[in-house]
Structure 1
Amino acid sequence: MHRHFSFSFSFPAVLLFASLASCSLVPPERQAPPPEIVDAPQDLPSRQTLILDSLLAQKEDWQGVPYRYGGLSSKGVDCSGFVYLTFLSQLNMKVPRTTSALMEEGEPVARNELEIGDLVFFRTGPGNRHVGIYMGGDEFMHASVSNGVMQSSLKNPYWRERYWMARRLVER
């Protein structure tokens, strides 16, 4: 079952969002306080499990939703829109709406230090950037131009070749 979000935007605002969202069109496939968690923040494994459970719920609800540049609904969503909606609905965090703004948030993370919930960024062409959410085990979820919302592997040659950087928005 897909969750439906209703946003009231003016037409100029929609155009602005669409022009700033720089998700890839190449197939194939602000820092806010952390969400309130009942367990002590030092309990990293439990916290990681809670984050993963939230992300898996989002994936289940959104799997297959088609890609739509500038989209923010179950009728179509782009990569940064999917990140925005996921962090808002699942982690109770308001993050920037565009890929370029997301690239400036949080802290940089080395590829070998990725944790569940980190954002992974890709250079998919001249001026094209793509963002997804790391799920652990070299997997990430994202809104793919070719397949909509899906899970992909960082080991996939397409994504491995285009991997650029990662950012951590969720405090550990």
Structure 2
Amino acid sequence: MNKKFLFSTLIVLCSFSASFAQNKTKETNKLEDPDNLASQYFSQVMGVAVDATSNLKLYKFIYEWIGTPYRFGGNTKNGIDCSAFAKTIYQKVFNTTILRNSRDIFSMVDPLAKDELKEGDLVFFKIKSRSISHVGVYLGDNRFAHSSSGGVKISNLNEPYYSRYFYKGGRILDDAKKDFVEE
């Protein structure tokens, strides 16, 4: 509840700063820039270095879902699983439709090594399984957002658990987007 209040306060302050900045000359400094304020806030809250090129829409979206309980097969704020969370992010933030199952989503990507990941890429895991069983969305600084048994949260790929089960990263192929949309 406190987190939601802080976020709401930040939005109000950013809105006020934006309207105030419109009345000023174009010589606003970085401290008065609402996007810079939001970037600083998300950097602190999510533990990710959010720079000027980061997708603030992605961070705001994830922030709104943090703490949503995990529910296998779920796809709402009452409960959501990992693939539905990734699908919802891609739909709402990137305006891209992806498949619903983590293994099917992997069929839509160009596989990447951990050191090739960029913000918005997908991360796949084989957790106690021979096949892909978990997916998340990469944020940067080895952090990723996902829905797991603890609900929607941000984790670090270098944590022993996730490091052990990490399979590959992936970037949605342009051809996969076209093929899926046309079907």
Moved more, 72-81 or 127-136: 127-136
1:63 aligned partner, one-letter code: I
Q: Give 2:34's aligned residue.
A: none
Partner of 1:141: 145
Deviation at 1:170, TM superposition (A): 7.1
**Identity in percent:** 32
Q: Aligned partners of 1:49, 1:84: CA distance in 2, in Å?
A: 20
Partners of 2:94 and 2:60 in 1: CA distance: 11
Deviation string 1:97-148 (CA, Å, 9 cap, x unpaired) is 1111111112111211110011001111125611000000000000011x10
Matched residue type, 2:54: T
CA distance in 2, matches of 1:132, 1:55: 13
Asked if 1:77 is matched to 2:80, the reply is: yes
Paired residues in the alignment total 124
Partner of 1:124: 127
More relative contact order in 1 or in 2 (CA 8 Å, sep 6+)?
1
**Bigger CA radius of gyration:** 2
- SS at structure 1 position matched to 2:133: strand
Is contact 1:118-1:169 (8 Å) kept? yes
- Give the whole-Å Cα distance in 1 for the aligned partners of 2:173 and 2:59: 16
Deviation string 1:2-58 (CA, Å, 9 cap, x unpaired) is xxxxxxxxxxxxxxxxxxxxxxxxxxxxxxxxxxxxxxxxxxx86x512xx122111
The 2-side partners of 1:94 and 1:152 are apart by: 24
**Aligned equivalents of 1:49, 1:112: Cα separation in 2:** 18
Which residue identity is paired with 2:122? L
Aligned to 1:167: 170
1:69-110 CA-partner distances (Å, limit 9, x unpaired): 000100000000000011101111111111111111121112
1:49 aligns with 2:54: yes
Q: TM-score, normalised by structure 1?
A: 0.67
Whole-Å Cα distance in 2 between the matches of residues 108 and 124 of structure 1? 18
Gaps of 5+ in 2: 5-50, 175-183
Partner of 1:35: none
Q: How does 1:81-100 map to 2 (within 5 A)?
A: 81-100=84-103
Contact 1:118 1:170 survives alignment (8 Å): no
Q: TM-score, normalised by structure 2?
A: 0.64
Verify the 8 A CA contact 2:75 2:81 in the aligned structure 1. Answer: yes
Q: Whole-Å Cα distance in 2 between the matches of residues 85 and 102 of structure 1?
A: 13
> Which ranges of 4 or more aligned residues in structure 1 deviate by more than 6 Å?
none
Q: 2:62 is matched with which residue?
A: 59
CA distance in 2, matches of 1:56, 1:92: 15
